[in-house]
A and B are shown apart, each in its own frame.
Chain A
Amino acid sequence: MEQLVQQIASGLANGAIYACLALALVMIFVSTDHINFAQGEMAMFSAYLAWQLLQWGVNFWIALPLVAFGSFLVGVGIERVILRPLHSAPVLSIVVVFIGLLTIFHSLAGAIWSHTIKDFPSPFPRVTFAGSGYIGPHQIGMIVVTIMLLLALFAFFRFTPLGLAMRAAAQNPASARLAGVRVDWMLALGWGLAAAIGAVAGTIVAPVVYLEPNMMASILLYGFASALVGGISSPGGAVAGGFIVGVLENLIAYFGNLLEKASGVYLIGNGEKLSVALIIVITVLTLRPAGLFGHVSVKRV
């Protein structure tokens, strides 16, 4: 029983990170219809930047917003400088650009900070408390930080004029222009926000997966899975999808282990977690192509 609670708790913690990655993907997808394959590597690069700041003696809670803001600017820059000229290019060209970005960030991180695995100190104190047998302080921290980030984003999109303008631009660019909204800048802003969210996710997960250029590869896959499960066009769905995938992968491994203990048959375990994520994606897409929370928008002509 204790183990089950542990698994769920750590599933939620991982899920929080998947949720962030999924949200970053959705952010770019809703406004441009593109899936940014470089999202994970951008997050990894941001985590390295945070590590560098920590090495220079900057406090983690100052480094995190700094890196998020820096990543925001880089995201905006990438959209304005690299993707803007490809505005009407075919999707395949854009995909190649994304793969190019992925490779660039990957090699750059390796070249600057080397490919050896680095330890990333957790910003949360190693304290024991009631229930610390179930969940560690860093896992709680991961959940709290991401939930705060998600709430802030929700408030931004729901309550600020700029957030509303971004939603309008994503939904109907032509009408948004006719309302005076600078749609091109809204796309760049979306890119910036996605990069910033990724930066927070990458930095906060680094103490768990350790710092190395490949650290986000599997996490990005889980992020894809989460976004697809929740509905690739639904930010709320992506977040829910993140937590669902996080908990589900742990539960499946947990029950696989139980089965093995009880009957001696090895069916599924920790090694198959990633496959489980992909099976979830395929199943959901087969049964509900719009995702669990994606909705087909109502239109009347």
Chain B
Amino acid sequence: MGAVLEVQGLKAFYGQTQALHGVSFALEPGGITTLLGANGAGKTTTLRSICSMVRTEGSIRFDGTDIAGRPTEDIVRLGVGHVPEGRGTFTDLSVEENLRVAAYTRTDKGATRRDLDMVFEYFPILKQRLTQQAGTLSGGEQQMLAISRALMLGPRLMLLDEPSFGLAPLIVQEIFRIMRRINAEAKVSMLLVEQNAALALELADHAYVLETGRVVMSGKSSVVKSDEAIRKSYLGY
């Protein structure tokens, strides 16, 4: 089976500064892949590149279609749900409105309704907070809302940028548990960027390690996990 996402020779630029130097990787359909690396290695930039949020060179194929350089809105409409760094909450809108905006491009009313029910099943707390202004939610709730917004697109691929950032360990466990369920039940492939390498390797089945904008290692999570150098630099034991 072909890869759901195939990235080849990806370079990314912020103005004159080059942040990625030819990154290549592929995502198996239905799997969870994680990008590991230190601060500034280019993990977030890679996710932003996929959604055309930075200037890129190289090829990015989603389900066989070349999406490199296409407008963000068009890529999203193909079924790429991006859970951005910092959660991207519409703080002045209510929780319900946040979810409605996320389903803005959907025309299939019945399926949208089912997806909303699915979101409430995964995150019952959001149902209680429906009319609340989203900016007043706790960090964990906002992260749940961010994941839910991506789900409301009806995505085939989800890009998750540090979903554990700034959250209490219990909340992180909860969110990761639900991410695994979403992956299995909603058949959504996932590309996960995480600082918390131990957590990410536990969830993901494949891992790529980035260093200063290049892939330095890749393989099954179990293999990467047991690598001596990775253990020392990223897992800390």
Closest to B101 in A: A168
Partner of B89, one of A164, A167, A175, A177: A175
Number of interface residues of A (CB under 8 A): 22
CB distance B139 to A300 under 8 Å? Answer: yes
* Among candidates A165, A172, A297, A298, residue contacting B104 with C-beta atoms closer than 8 Å: A165
Is the CB of A84 closer than 8 A to any CB of chain B? no
CB distance from A161 to the nearest CB of B (A): 6
Whether A179 touches B93, Cβ cut-off 8 Å, given contacts A164-B101, A299-B135, is no
Asked if A115 is at the interface (CB within 8 A of a chain B CB), the reply is no
Q: Chain A: interface secondary structure?
A: helix
A177 to chain B, nearest CB (A): 4
With A182-B73, A301-B166 known to touch, is A161 a contact of B91 (CB < 8 Å)? no
A174 and B77 contacting across the interface, CB-CB below 8 Å: no
Measured between alpha carbons, how far is A101 from B135 in the docked complex, in Å? 38
- For residue A31, give the distance in angstroms from its CB to the closest CB of chain B: 13
Q: Are A180 and B135 in contact (CB under 8 A)?
A: no
Q: When the two chains form their complex, are residues B153 and A179 in contact, meaning their CB atoms are under 8 A apart?
A: yes
Residue in A closest to B103 when the chains form the complex, CB atoms: A179
Q: Min CB distance, B101 to chain A, in Å?
A: 4
Question: Given the complex, which residues of B lie within 8 Å of A165, measured CB to CB?
Answer: 101, 104
Alpha-carbon distance between A178 and B53 when the two chains are bound, in angstroms:
10
* Contact for A179 among B76, B91, B139, CB less than 8 A: B76
Interface centre among A168, A171, A178, A300 (most CB of B within 10 A): A178
Q: How far is the CB of A186 from chain B (nearest CB, A)?
A: 11
Question: A172 CA to B97 CA in the complex, in Å?
Answer: 13
Q: Which of A142-200 contact B (CB under 8 A)?
A: 161, 164-165, 167-168, 171-172, 174-183
**Which residues 283-301 in A have Cβ within 8 Å of B in the complex?**
297-301
A164-B100, A167-B93, A301-B166 known; A175 and B139 CB under 8 Å?
Answer: no
The reply to whether A175 and B88 contact each other, CB–CB distance below 8 Å, is yes
Residue of A nearest to B82 (CB): A178
Complex Cα distance A181/B90, Å? 13
Contact A180 B76 (CB under 8 A): yes
Q: Given A167-B93, A171-B91, are A176 and B101 neighbors across the interface (CB < 8 Å)?
A: yes
In the complex, B133 has a CB within 8 A of chain A: yes
Q: Name the residue of chain B whose CB is nearest to the CB of A168.
A: B101
Query: Which residue of A is nearest B76, CB measured?
Result: A180
Complex interface residues of chain B between 69 and 119 (CB less than 8 A to chain A): 72-73, 76-77, 82, 84, 88-93, 97, 100-102, 104-105
Pairs A-B, 10 closest by C-beta atoms: A175-B88, A180-B105, A168-B101, A177-B72, A180-B76, A298-B135, A178-B82, A180-B77, A179-B102, A179-B101
Extra A-B contacts (5), CB below 8 Å, given A161-B100, A168-B97:
A164-B97, A176-B90, A181-B105, A182-B73, A300-B136
Could you name 14 residue pairs across A and B whose Cβ atoms are closer than 8 Å?
A161-B104, A168-B90, A168-B101, A168-B104, A172-B90, A174-B53, A174-B84, A177-B53, A178-B76, A180-B77, A180-B104, A181-B104, A181-B105, A298-B135
